[in-house]
């Protein structure tokens, strides 16, 4: 059976201005794979995510996602809709925003946008995902009142509600207590199988990627190597 490359990168050079962070980087991610990428802070993990998300254009090299070359701003915007993104856990502000509304924002550009209000289907999808991640009982609670583990579940829910086949996760379990780490790892494994997702996860600590990844690569000196 032939494997399908969901993300394919060759000879990538990327960075900011004259500062090149990624140097001649090669990467292939297969459909359905859970790939972990480890590397020290500042190694370029976030830059690589920005390239895959189409937020920055490569300085040189070949990048394709879902079989589409990311060679124009328009294609990069279209491909971004095919990716769910879970950022690093951070402390939310004190704004009275409900769990429902935070997850609903994952439908932005997928179900609604500047000139289109959220539909009943959008909101039903939010409630469905909240049930799936075990957060329906907190649907109308303010996000800043949640624990760190619950906030991370909400971030995962916001990514899942996009119904995207690719999920990028930035330090998904790193800054949680041990109990929450175990819970989040199990949740990620469960949603991956249920939704047939391709996962790419980054962390500065390879141990945090062990329980979730099929393979782990190390980002060092601007390149990826087998760990």
**Alpha-carbon separation of residue 87 from 36, 45, 66, 164 (angstroms):** 15, 12, 21, 16
Q: What is the mean pLDDT of residues 168-183?
A: 94
Residues in the chain: 227
> Residue 3's pLDDT band (boundaries 50, 70, 90)?
confident
pLDDT tens digits for 111-122? 677 778 889 999
Instruction: Tell me the percentage of the chain whose pLDDT exceeds 90.
Output: 85
Q: What is the mean pLDDT of residues 175-184?
A: 94
Name the burial class of residue 78, with classes exposed (0-12), middle (13-18) and buried (19+) by CB atoms within 10 angstroms of its CB. Answer: middle
- Sequence ranges of the domains in the chain: 1-82+204-227
What CATH class is the domain 1-82+204-227?
Answer: alpha beta
The whole-chain average pLDDT of the chain stands at: 93
Tokens at 97, concatenated: 């925003």
Instruction: Classify 67 in phi/psi space as left (phi over 0), alpha (psi -120 to 50) or beta.
Output: left
Contact of 224 with 27, CB cutoff 8 Å: yes
Q: What is the mean pLDDT of residues 136-147?
A: 95
pLDDT of 152 > 70? The answer is: yes
Distance from C-alpha of 225 to C-alpha of 227, rounded to nearest angstrom: 6
pLDDT of res. 140: 97
Q: What is the mean pLDDT of residues 150-170?
A: 96
Neighbour order of strands in the sheet with 198-203:
83-86, 166-170, 198-203, 34-38, 215-220, 223-226
Of 49 and 109, more confident: 49
pLDDT of res. 18: 85
Distance from C-alpha of 97 to C-alpha of 91, rounded to nearest angstrom: 13
pLDDT tens digits for 59-111? 999 999 999 999 999 999 999 989 999 999 876 667 789 999 999 999 987 76
pLDDT of res. 83: 96
Contact of 144 with 197, CB cutoff 8 Å: no
Distance from C-alpha of 138 to C-alpha of 157, rounded to nearest angstrom: 13
Distance from C-alpha of 159 to C-alpha of 167, rounded to nearest angstrom: 7
> Residue 175's pLDDT band (boundaries 50, 70, 90)?
confident
Long-range contacts of 92-98 (CB under 8 A, 24+ apart): 92/143, 92/144, 92/151, 93/144, 94/144, 95/144, 96/142, 97/142, 97/143, 97/144, 98/139, 98/140, 98/141, 98/142, 98/143
Tokens at 120, concatenated: 């009943």
């Amino acid at each position: 059976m032939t494997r399908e490359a969901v993300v394919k990168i060759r000879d990538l050079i990327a960075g900011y201005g004259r500062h090149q962070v990624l140097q001649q980087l090669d990467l292939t991610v297969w459909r359905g794979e859970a790939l972990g990428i480890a590397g020290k802070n500042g190694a370029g993990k976030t830059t690589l995510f920005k390239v895959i998300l189409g937020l920055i254009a490569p300085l040189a090299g070949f990048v394709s996602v879902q079989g589409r070359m990311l060679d124009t701003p328009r294609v990069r915007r279209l491909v971004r809709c095919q990716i769910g993104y879970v950022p690093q856990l951070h402390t939310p502000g004190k704004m009275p925003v409900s769990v429902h509304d935070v997850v609903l924002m994952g439908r932005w550009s997928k179900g609604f946008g500047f000139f289109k209000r959220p539909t009943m289907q959008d909101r039903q999808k939010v409630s469905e995902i909240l049930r799936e991640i075990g957060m329906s009982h907190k649907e109308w609670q303010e996000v800043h009142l949640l624990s760190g583990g619950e906030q991370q579940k909400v971030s995962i829910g916001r990514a899942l509600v996009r119904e995207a086949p690719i999920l990028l996760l930035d330090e998904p379990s790193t800054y949680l207590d041990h109990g929450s780490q175990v819970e989040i790892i199990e949740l990620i494994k469960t949603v991956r199988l249920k939704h047939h997702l391709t996962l790419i996860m980054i962390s500065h600590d390879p141990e945090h990627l062990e329980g979730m990844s099929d393979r782990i690569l190390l980002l060092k000196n601007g390149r990826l190597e087998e760990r």
